[in-house]
Every structure is written in structure tokens, then in C-alpha cells.
Structure 1
Amino acid sequence: MTDLDQLKAIVLRHAGKPQPNMPRVSVSTFDRPSEPGWLVYDPVVCFVLQGSKQVFIGDQVLECGAGHCMVVAAELAAMGQISEASSEEPYVALNLYIDPEVISALLLEMGSAPVPPMDKGFGFSPAGPALIEAWRRLAELLDRPSEIPVMASHREHELMFRLLMGQQGALLRQIAGTDSRLSHIRRAMAWIREHYKEHLSIEAMATVAGMSLSVFHRRFKAINGLSPLQYQKQIRLHEARRRLISQRSEAASVAYAVGYESVSQFSREYKRLFGAPPRQDAGKLQRMVDPGP
């Protein structure tokens, strides 16, 4: 049995179970391919153990198969789908949501090192033997919960160290840097999410980021794959979809609630993003969640 197989066996034992003692660790499993769905990633490291998924960020497509680690360094709007999964061989992934303080502490111990230029807020690469071993050692604690209070931080530091030494190290270094380009863009992204209902100008966003207009627009799109206004639009539409499904509200009231002034514009942009008009799309998702008798 390979190290990857050993790790997969551990992870499958805990699939579908909450991990209250390790809240930033989660297991994802799917027993069939999925339809494309939109989501907003939090900063996370995802290690695919079996199967495959596609992630669409802007005009880029990532195909993440077994043995690949994906690092997302900012709160990116993306579309994803499980592309390879079956009941015999389900899609399996282990996720760890990133704590910038862990990275900062490691960098202090590692000493200064040049940070390569970073032009994206995401990346993926194959995991080598040392990284797979670090993931396995962290996952083993799921079988030994009594050890988590003492050992979890050590195992997480080991895993992050291996990632910092690998191909995605530049991404992780940017997360820790309070004066990095990424931190400035993330500050603007947080401000956009907080004020998504309002009419926001690029000038105001650039001011929040502390950048000139041209530099802000270029770096924002490089990191996100979307322009600042496209990012705001997707946040609005994701929130509208959530309200349509959870509150069963009318499309017009939801459109106004998320900041649209025109219901027809809202419907056009909603259909362009999700593939169906608001009410039709929400009805389909509600039936999937609650199919009835």
C-alpha cells in the first residue's frame, strides 16, 4: 500500500463527520461527477486523494487529479465540478483552511528568503513524498482525537513547512505578509464583500487597497481572474441565489435587496452566470435539496 493509499484509507474513515477538535480540517467525498457550481473559496489547501475535479477561475481551468495539492490564497469566486468519481472509486479530498499566523510563525523560524513574483492567487502542483507524509501525519490525528490538543499544531506546522518549501511557497508567503500585494488586494476584496450592495467605484476600491488605479485593476484581475466589478457582481449574484433558495423570495425583491436597480438586468446577469432564470434555477435547486415524497 502506497503512502497515498494509507492517507486515503484514514480520510475515508472520517468522511461526512464533523471535526470539532480540528475545525479547519475537512474531508470532501463525492460518489458521482457533479454539475458545475459557483462558490467563493476561502484561503485553503486541498489535497486530492482520488478522483478529479475541475476548477474554473476567470478564464483559467485547473484539472486537479489524485496526488495534486491546490492552494487558494485569497477569497476567490470560482466555478467547480467533480469530473471523475464513482461509487466504486469516489472523489476524495482532504482540506485544510489556512491560518496566516501559522505561516508567519514558520517564516520567522525559517529566516528571510526572497519572495518570487506572484501573479495569481491560486495554484496547484503534484505532492512529493515528504508532503504526502506530512498530510498523513496530520490525518492520523483524526484516529487519535486525544492527541489533537498536543500534536495538531506541530503536525500543521510540518505540513505548512513542506508547502512553503514547494512550488506554492510564494503563494503562502504572500498570505503571511501584511504589506504584500496579496494582502492589499485581499483587503479590497473584503471591503467589496462588505459593501457589495452599494454602487462602488474602481477609484474607491483602489483607495482601500492603497494602490493606484491602474496597478490595482491589473493586480486584482491577475490574482482573481476577474475584474473588481466582475467580482462584486458575482458576490451579488451568489447572495441572490442563496436568498432565492433559503427564503423562497420573489426575484424582484431579491434583486433590489442585493443592490440591483433593474430587475431585467438582474435576470439577464443571473441567467448568464447560473444558466437559468432566477426562479427556475432556484426551483431546480430546491427540488434537489427537498425532493418531496
Structure 2
Amino acid sequence: MSLDKKEEMLQQELAAQIEQYTGTDGIWATSIPSLHFIKASQETDPIHSLYEPALCIVAQGTKLVLLGKESYVYDPSCYLVASVQLPVSGQVIQATPENPYLCMQLDFQGSQIIELIQEVDISRSVPSSKRALYVSKTNTSLLEAAVRLVKLLDTPQDIPVIAPLIIREILYRVLLGEQGHSIKQFAVTGSHADCIAQAIEMIKRDFAKPLRVETLAAAVNMSTSSLHYHFKEVTAMSPLQYQKKLRLQEARRILFSGGTEAANAGFLVGYESPSQFSREYSRMFGLPPISDIKQFRDTLRVGSN
């Protein structure tokens, strides 16, 4: 059997398994805590979210992800990895009811990568800063491990013992991939990427407070210019742009939950000027806050009819 044919069969098997454990469109949790399935039976509008460190393998369909001004397209021929928390926009661009978009998402922790690097013969040199989001060509070994992990859902009694071993193998395969250094960089203590990961955590923790880049740089033992350079290398945006995206995504979440009015939502996420909040919200989401909420509620009403 040719390599391409074997990969195709594995992708079909993975798609069948995902369909078995999903119902309507959406994100589905599984009995393996770090494993989720995503299903979409039609193309979607862009959805803004915060990617956590994760591996995404598409079994069917195609998705487009925007990070800053960069675009990443992935389908069954490749997989996507996010190494740190990244504010992105994702959009399913190929899916039908007959052939829905089907994806498995495996979340991981930095500690798992560190353990692999320490225990396995993987180069420990400090890499230069690389983008924390990348798409890489899939391979038979990775797909075989992914299928074995998903099949464990059929025998839940095996999950506690066997799932950690297969997850370890999957992460090992990704680390050995052509762009594995993009993950490894965050596991090397003192590397520029490690410092940026610390900066990201600090911004996330206090995103509603004013951000002084000089203070942030000092907190992670970097110069201001070095922080700017390496932060952009890793995230495709500046620290202030990163903070702005976090603020606006959280404001939208608050508004859609019906928790407050538009002006107050802006204040809650750190905006002092309602006009500036409305302007930046419109730039990111395409509509001012009040119009965006109305469109969201209208869509909900149509969907419930």
C-alpha cells in the first residue's frame, strides 16, 4: 500500500471515529480530558477566540486561521500547532452536511514538552524565536497514533493507563517534525521564547490594566527593544496589540452573555473612552458594539424558529 493511500485510509478512519462521538455542530468534550472534537456541517463566519497550546488534526474539511495579518490554512494534508495562548480568528472554509468539517484537538502543557526533551534524545540547544503558530505536513506515524488515541474512547477502562502513553507519542512525533523547534523553544528555560511566554501570562492576568511595555520587559529580564522584537516573532503582533485583542474578545463575550451595556463592557476591560472602545471594536469585529449585539440576537432568534 502506498504511503498516500495509507494516510488517506487513516484520515477516513479518524473522520468516522470523530463522527461517532459528535452530534450537532460545535466543540465536543471526550472521556480523555485533553481531547476535544470539532464539527461544522457548513462554512462559518470568522470566530474570534484565544487558542491555548494545542495540536489540531483535521480529518475532513478545511479551516482558515488568522493570526495578526497572517493566514494559515489547514486540511487533512497537514496539522496545526499553537504553542502559547494566541488571540486568533478561525473560519471553516470547506464543509457540507454530507462531508462536515471534522477535527481533533489535543491540548497540551509545557511541562509535557519539557519532560520529553529531558528524557528523549532531542537537541536541547536554544533556538531562535519562531512563530508560536504553524502548519506542518502530516505523516503516517502521527495519524496512526491519533487514530489509536481516538479508538481508546471505545474502551474507556483503558484510558487512564494507555492515553498518557499515546499522547506522549503524539507530542514526540510533533517535536520531531520539521517545525518541532517552534514548540521546543518554549521549553528551554531562559530562551527568548520562554521570556515571551512569561510576558503573555502577565498580559493575560492583568489585561484590563494599563500596559507599560518597559515594566513588562523588566519583569521578564529583557530590554524593551528585545521584548518588542521577540514578542512579534512569536505572536505576529506587539504586546499592546496582543492586549487589545484580549480586551476586545472579552468585551464581546461579556456583551453576548447579556451581562452589561456596551459602554460598561468597554470600561470593564480597560477602556476609559467609549468612543475609542467603539472604534476599535468596529475595526476588529466589523460592526460597532450595539449593532453587533443586535445582529447576534437576531441570529439566535432565527436559529430558534
**TM-score, normalisation: structure 1:** 0.95
Hey, what's the Cα distance between the residues in 1 that align with 2:263 and 2:113? 45
Hey, what's the Cα distance between the residues in 2 that align with 1:133 and 1:112? 22
Matches within 5 A, 1:277-288: 277-288=288-299
* 2:5 paired residue number: none
Task: Indicate if the aligned counterparts of 1:50 and 1:89 stay in contact, CA closer than 8 A.
Answer: yes
Match of 2:104 among 94, 105, 118: 94
Hey, what's the Cα distance between the residues in 2 that align with 1:191 and 1:26? 27
Does 1:61 pair with 2:71? yes
Task: Indicate if the aligned counterparts of 1:4 and 1:67 stay in contact, CA closer than 8 A.
Answer: no
TM-superposed deviation, 1:179? 2.4
Matches within 5 A, 1:26-65: 26-65=36-75
- What residue identity is the alignment partner of 2:80? M
Shift of the 70–149 alpha-carbon distance from structure 1 to 2, 3 Å rule, reads: same
Q: Sequence identity, in percent?
A: 34
* 1:249 paired residue number: 260
Task: Indicate if the aligned counterparts of 2:127 and 2:185 stay in contact, CA closer than 8 A.
Answer: no
Does 1:10 pair with 2:17? yes
TM-superposed deviation, 1:119? 2.1
Task: Report the number of matched residues.
Answer: 292
1:247-270 Cα distance to aligned partner (Å, 9 max, x none):
342111112111111111110000
Higher mean displacement: 7-16 or 34-43: 7-16
Does 1:258 pair with 2:265? no
* 2:4 paired residue number: none
RMSD (Å) for aligned C-alpha atoms: 1.6
TM-superposed deviation, 1:23? 1.2
TM-superposed deviation, 1:271? 0.3
TM-superposed deviation, 1:239? 1.0
Hey, what's the Cα distance between the residues in 1 that align with 2:141 and 2:20? 23
Match of 2:215 among 204, 220, 224: 204
Matches within 5 A, 1:120-139: 120-139=131-150
1:66-87 Cα distance to aligned partner (Å, 9 max, x none):
2311010111111110000000
Hey, what's the Cα distance between the residues in 2 that align with 1:195 and 1:290? 35
TM-superposed deviation, 1:46? 0.3
Indicate the SS of the match to 1:53. Answer: strand
**TM-score, normalisation: structure 2:** 0.91
Does 1:172 pair with 2:174? no
TM-superposed deviation, 1:99? 2.0
